[in-house]
Amino acid sequence: MDYFRRTKIASILSQPDEAGEDVLVMGWVRNRRDSPNLTFLEINDGSCLGNLQIVIDEPSKFPDLENIKLGAAARIVGRLMPVPDRKHKIELHPTEIKLVGESSAEYPLQKKRHSFEYLREIAHLRPRTNTFGVMNRFRSRISYAIHKFFQDRGFYYIHSPIITATDAEGAGEQFWVTAFDLKNVPVTDGEIDFDKDFFGDQTFLTVSGQLEAEIMACALGDVYTFAPTFRAENSNTSRHVSEFWMIEPEMAFCDLDENMQLAGEFLMYLFNYALNECSDEMEFFNSRIDKRRVATLEKLAKSKFEIITYTEAVDILKKAKKKFEYPVEWGVNLQAEHERYLCEEHLKAPVMVKDYPRDVKAFYMRLNDDGKTTAAVDVLVPEIGEIIGGSQREERLDILKDQVKHFGIPEDGLWWYYDLRRYGTVPHSGFGLGFARLLMYMSGMANIRDVIPFPRTPKNVKF
């Protein structure tokens, strides 16, 4: 099929002066225009946003051309010709045209604008549109940037399990994993007998790879996971999906302040990478999705994080001359409106809020000396509020056991987690960043379903 002989369209369009040579391209027809004795095709192979224009001045020479319609796949050989006075700068004049895959007249992506809602119903075809082609290439490039950041700093990429017997967040919103015949579930003393299930225990899809990352950090030093996580939260908002990828680094011999420094450096690295290495994608988002995107990221990339405690944040919010939908009291979690006020109106900068009340954070977070707060941090940015959550982990076995008891978490499955504190315990820290939320923020996309190729939401598991 000439896979290794073909020239990608991205390479051709990036060097419009490199004309006069014969090339082979393969791709899908994005547009076709016919006039007497002249046909124009626009071909896209997915390597970039731009199409390559094919100029056919004697259509009758190419028998396959009659069946090459919108959406069809084609193999084309021809000579590149420079056209510096035209917008597309370079075009191909074919000597061979072969139809690879037909497309019928009912092709759903006709040459017109389609709503994002409509495109979600045809997620198998929407990557062929400009917006979703750009988004998927952007997603790939930012994924690379994430790996590069950690690899350049000596971190090891680890693969945490998707099936787990623990609830890392303690929220209980997990998908069950079972091999039981659901019409004949074994019951002993009125309770489901998980001893008879495939794993001999009650198991779930993971909500986080953090606990396993702690195991690896306590052996390898610096590690990170970048993997899918799952939440059985029956929510249909524009910010929630049931399957999403998380970036979760974990560092041994690292306290909260050092954790915060790394989280800030990581976020700034990704913003700068998007601006400098993904300029075509950012230009597209800025012109088609949100005209403030580039300016927002540029401003953030030059900013310094303000650092305040949760208690200071509550004091600021209580004194604010603004009416909030959710009342502010010490001991309650901050809502997005509170976080945005701190960033956008009071401090006018990205913010790190640390030392949250014990009862609004997870059991594994290190208890501070006051006995009321934990060594936790949320990283806040304008427009959305929290984008990163992290903490120093509780490395003291006796206090960890008290935390588990305080939150009413069953100890049975935590023996190995306790062992990390029994055998060479060390201070260690980490944080989590939701990949889809990051992409939403950098692209300006309003709905999380539009930054994930195949979103999983309540009542929706198509594709």
Separation CA 379–CA 387 (nearest Å) = 6
Mean pLDDT of 280-302: 97
pLDDT for res 20: 72
Which amino acid is located at 303 in the chain?
A: S
Mean pLDDT of 240-256: 97
pLDDT for res 244: 96
Separation CA 274–CA 272 (nearest Å) = 5
Separation CA 121–CA 462 (nearest Å) = 9
* pTM for this predicted structure: 0.95
pLDDT tier at 172, thresholds 50, 70, 90: low
Q: How confident is the model over 91-114, as pLDDT tens digits?
A: 999 999 999 999 999 999 998 899
Q: Residue 222's closest CA among 258, 260, 249?
A: 249
Other beta carbons less than 10 A from residue 231's beta carbon: 19
* Alpha-carbon dihedral angle through residues 191, 194, 195, 201, given to the nearest 10 degrees: -140
370, pLDDT greater than 70: yes
Q: What are residue 432's DSSP bridge partners?
A: 389
pLDDT tier at 86, thresholds 50, 70, 90: confident
How far CA 188 is from CA of 191, 192, 246, 431, in Å, comes to 5, 6, 37, 40
Domains of the chain plus CATH, in order, are 9-107 (2.40.50.140), 126-450 (3.30.930.10)
Separation CA 255–CA 140 (nearest Å) = 32
393, pLDDT greater than 70: yes
281, pLDDT greater than 90: yes
Q: How confident is the model over 450-463, as pLDDT tens digits?
A: 999 999 999 999 99
Which amino acid is located at 99 in the chain?
A: L
